[in-house]
Amino acid sequence: MLNRLCGLVLAALTTTAVAQGQTHWVGTWATSPMGVTEGWSMKVFSGTTVREIVHISAGGAQVRVRFTNEFSPDPLTLRDAHVAVSAGGGAVKDGTDHPVTFGGATSVRIAPGAAIYSDPVAMEAAPLSDLAISFYVPAQTMRAETFHGFADQDGWIAQGNVSGAATLPSPTKLTSWYFISGVDVPATEGSKAIVMLGDSITDGALSTANANRRWPDVLAGRLNQERGMEHVSVLNEGIGGNRVLNEGFGPSAISRFDRDVLAQNGAKYLVVLEGINDIGRLQRLSGPEDEITAETMEFGLKQIVDAAHLHGLKVYGATLTPYGGAGYSTDKGEQIREAVNQWIRTSGTFDGVIDFDQITRDPQNPNRFNPLYDSGDHLHPNDAGYKAMGEGIDLKLFR
């Protein structure tokens, strides 16, 4: 319910801005926040500067940043935020640093369960560039943190308020995104966003860190090079370990749909690649809710499609990639995967199909990854596999 309310509030804020004739925004980068759960440890943010790197898709002459405190019972205070062009390794490029304000103030208090946008920042943000978002976290009560676990991108923390420094002194590496969930740019003619709703395969697990080789990144690069599609942005709402029907890592796809899809500014298309973790849970059931069938999977996916259609989005179904030989593969699960894929291809539920199963499978052993595309765990693609996925998408789907 908290995620739904937050999503609706963000959507309402956007609607109000448009109604008042203000700038129309479109998302250029996004990530799906979650709370720290079992298997994750709390970081100590007390009198520290956080610097996080994000890879945007579409460019613009302004940016605004979405900060989040959605999974904490305590208010979150942030101060002296900055945005700049990343120079790599935690440094920022000379002459690109800009202060970020909140209603003209240099600090902001984010209520428990809330997310907020910064004021617009005038800066040249080139397409496919890396931005560094820095902010100071003063000492405060913090019983829970809002973050995105698998960033596949290094971030940094340093002691003291040094958010405006070009190079952080004695920084410590972060491998998750904390307290941020999106970046917007002003919309221009042709601007629209594609939301990717998925799990670790969309999140880019086991791709090369700091290289932006996730399949949504590959697609964003292709769109940027395609005449007339330069302003189509890609928003990655994948969460490693996520499920369609039940909570796994992060809220289920169904429960986070409003926040991660409908509340994304400029969203016109949705690509759904999710369900392999629902199937994989059959190997280690922890409760009756984990017992699924192809029919329950299809029902859950159809709920997402119907809700997206109700709000005018086109929805493309992506077939589930092979998982034979993975740690949680079972014969029963494979039967469900094949049945769900057949339903995605033939049911007519979706506005189109992206057949990632066909793209990535071994022709000689179709329940397994093509060895050229296998990361080694038989569940996630390697860089070549992610590249094949991103290059296998028909760009005409987004015209």
Name the one residue in this structure whose structure tokens are 């129309």: 24
Digit-coded pLDDT (tens) for 83-98: 999 999 999 999 999 9
The confidence score (pLDDT) of residue 137 equals 98
pLDDT value at position 21? Answer: 52
> By C-alpha distance, which of 169, 139, 135, 153 is closest to 45?
139
- Residue 78 β-bridge partners: 108
**189-398: in CATH 3.40.50.1110:** yes
- Write out the two tokens for 112: 């428990």
**pLDDT at position 18:** 41
Question: What is the dihedral sign for C-alpha 388, 88, 235, 237?
Answer: positive
How many whole angstroms from its chain centre is CA 73? Answer: 23
Decide if 151 contacts 176 (C-beta within 8 A): yes
Residue-wise pLDDT tens digits, 350-376: 999 999 999 999 999 999 999 999 999
State yes or no: pLDDT of 32 exceeds 50.
yes
Top pLDDT among 3 and 301 is at: 301
Task: Specify the pLDDT at position 8.
Answer: 44
The DSSP annotation for 334-387 comes to HHHHHHHHHHHHHS--SSEEE-HHHHHEETTEEEEE-TTTB-SSSSSB-HHHHH
Report pLDDT for 248. Answer: 85
Per-residue pLDDT reduced to its tens digit, 373-389: 999 999 999 999 999 99
How high is the pLDDT of residue 244? 97
CA distances from 338 to 91, 301, 358 (A): 47, 15, 11
**Residue 106: count of CB within 10 angstroms of its CB:** 13
Model confidence at 327: pLDDT above 80 = yes
Are the C-beta atoms of residues 3 and 237 closer than 8 Å to each other?
no
Q: What is the pLDDT of residues 141-166, one digit of tens each?
A: 999 999 999 999 999 999 999 999 99
**Higher per-residue pLDDT: 147 or 44:** 147
Q: What does the mean pLDDT of the chain come to?
A: 94
Bridge-based pairing state of the strands 314-318 and 267-273: parallel
